[in-house]
Amino acid sequence: MEAAKNNTHSGWTEHGLYEYLLVVDPDVAVQHKVLAQQQEFYEEYREKAAIKTGHHIIVASFLAREAMEGTLIRWIQRICDLQQPFKVTLNNYSGFPPHTIYLRVQDPLPFLQLSHQLKAVDDLVRSSSCPPVRLIAKPHLSIARRLPEPVYTKAMFNYSQKTFHETFMVNELRLLRRAHQFDSCKTVNVFPFSPSGQPWSEVA
């Protein structure tokens, strides 16, 4: 799974820290189509990284101690209680040279506004002597990552000519935890949005 941009977080466990990821999941129908894209990539380029890539959009990542989870959950739920569901459209492909090919989020504004609200969580994490929260600068859904540069270059040329267009509603955030970079993520909590919350245009 891919963390937010520039999120290396080396040596977590030495300091008693876990990595937490706040993510948005597509609905089941779109997840199946994304998984089909990842499988197709693997069959074409034989890169195992493609089929190990998660099928979610990362909103934020941060390091924290397990003992902080209860407080973090309360703070994140308060934020989500004020937010209405929003629509996400995945529209065609792009890449982060020289290693990642992803599906573009057509309108990043709801994610950027959500990041603004999550700065309260950043304040909490910093006040507990943990590194700052890393808020995603460019929301995306990875198809393949950690690619060798020659594979990336060839695949990006091909995928720039492909099309993909799917839309889904985001009704909740999911909080994941892992002990190290190659650990499997475990779901810690799910935070439903409120239908009576503020429209996204009002929370910037």
Q: Token pair 């941009």 is at which residue? A: 5
Which residues pair with residue 147 across a beta bridge?
none
Contacts of residue 204, Cβ cutoff 8 Å, sequence gap at least 6? 113, 116
- Rg of the chain over all Cα atoms, to the nearest angstrom: 17
User: Residue 188 to residues 22, 59, 82, 170: CA-CA distances in angstroms?
Assistant: 10, 15, 21, 18
How far does the chain reach from its first CA to its final CA, in angstroms? 28
pLDDT score recorded for residue 14: 66
Cα separation, 137 vs 156, whole angstroms: 21
Task: List, for residues 152-179, the tens digit of each pLDDT value.
Answer: 999 999 999 999 999 999 999 999 999 9
In angstroms, the CA 68 to CA 64 distance is: 7
CA-to-CA distance for 190 and 23, rounded, in angstroms? 10
pLDDT higher than 60, residue 3 = no
DSSP 8-state class, residue 201: G
CB 53 within 8 A of CB 143: yes
Its pTM surpasses 0.85 = yes
- H or E element in which residue 49 lies: helix 48-52
Boundaries of every domain in the chain = 17-195
Confidence of residue 6 (pLDDT cuts 50, 70, 90): very low
CATH 3.40.50.280 is right for the domain spanning 17-195: no
3-state secondary structure of 35: helix
Question: What's the confidence (pLDDT) of residue 203?
Answer: 39
Give the Cα separation of 145 and 98 in Å (integer): 9
pLDDT (tens digit per residue) in 25-49: 999 999 999 999 999 999 999 988 7
pLDDT for residue 180 is more than 90: no
- Smallest Cα–Cα separation from 23: which of 173, 190, 177? 173
Closest listed residue to residue 54, CA positions, set 156, 166, 187, 170: 187
* Residues composing the chain: 204
